[in-house]
Amino acid sequence: MATAPEGTGRQRDPERTRAEILDEATSEFADRGFAGARVDEIAARTRTTKRMLYYYFGSKQGLYLAVLERAYVGIRALERDLEVAHLNPAKAVRAVAELTFDHHEAHPDFIRLVAIENIHHAEHLRTSPVLSGLAGPAVDVLDGILARGREAGLFRDDADALDVHMMISAFCVFRLSNRHTFAAIFGRDLLEPVRREHYRRMVGDLVVEYLTAHVGHS
């Protein structure tokens, strides 16, 4: 039986080596894109050599895919565990919006990887079995909230869960992914801490006001 490899006692530790490679690869890919990332550079930043990188992941593309998969799994777990049944529909969508807002802000590398993957027409994402069928949680939660809101006569009925998810993502993603060109042109850093609460309230307001607009009127 294998004694669990813990701490720093071992000289050989595949788990740790793998994780270390993934960590450095994540930051290199997020920083320079797929083509711009350098395999030698990733290897140099770990305690191992380039050889190990190919030993575990086969190719640059294989490593990139592994990085992408690990990054995507995180956010879905969060969404799945969000508990909103006890909130009224308006507060519930706001909670979803703020969860997205907080997660994206806390994981800029994830956002960058998504941007990079889009430049490549999501060709890696599309062919990864791990990443197919990730849609579940986020959409289901929103679907439930919208249904409740419509039944109560609070929400408009011409927007579905995917539309709302898209609205929220658009706002939260843009704030990170377009931060640099926005700052360069308009001179405002969208991530400045002083403005954080303002924008956090803004996503919530945005989606709630949109959903409750004119319901009951004309």
Partner DNA sequence: CTTGTTATGTACCGTATGGTTAGTTGTACC
Partner DNA sequence: GGTACAACTAACCATACGGTACATAACAAG
Binding site for DNA (CB under 7 A): 1-3, 5, 10-14, 17, 37-40, 47-52, 54-55, 59-61
Nearest to 93 by CA among 156, 166, 168, 150: 168
Does 65 bind its own copies (CB under 8 A)? Our answer is no
User: Which residue number, 19 or 147, has a Cβ lying nearer to DNA?
Assistant: 19
Q: What minimum distance in Å lies between the beta carbon of 67 and DNA?
A: 13
User: Which residue number, 61 or 178, has a Cβ lying nearer to DNA?
Assistant: 61
Q: What minimum distance in Å lies between the beta carbon of 27 and DNA?
A: 15
Structure tokens at 153: 């006569």
User: Which residue number, 17 or 169, has a Cβ lying nearer to its own copies?
Assistant: 169
Q: What minimum distance in Å lies between the beta carbon of 102 and its own copies?
A: 17
Residues 6+ apart with CB under 8 A from 82: 95, 96, 99, 141
Q: What minimum distance in Å lies between the beta carbon of 40 and its own copies?
A: 15
User: Which residue number, 65 or 71, has a Cβ lying nearer to DNA?
Assistant: 65
List 78, 154, 183, 191, residue binding its own copies (CB under 8 A):
183
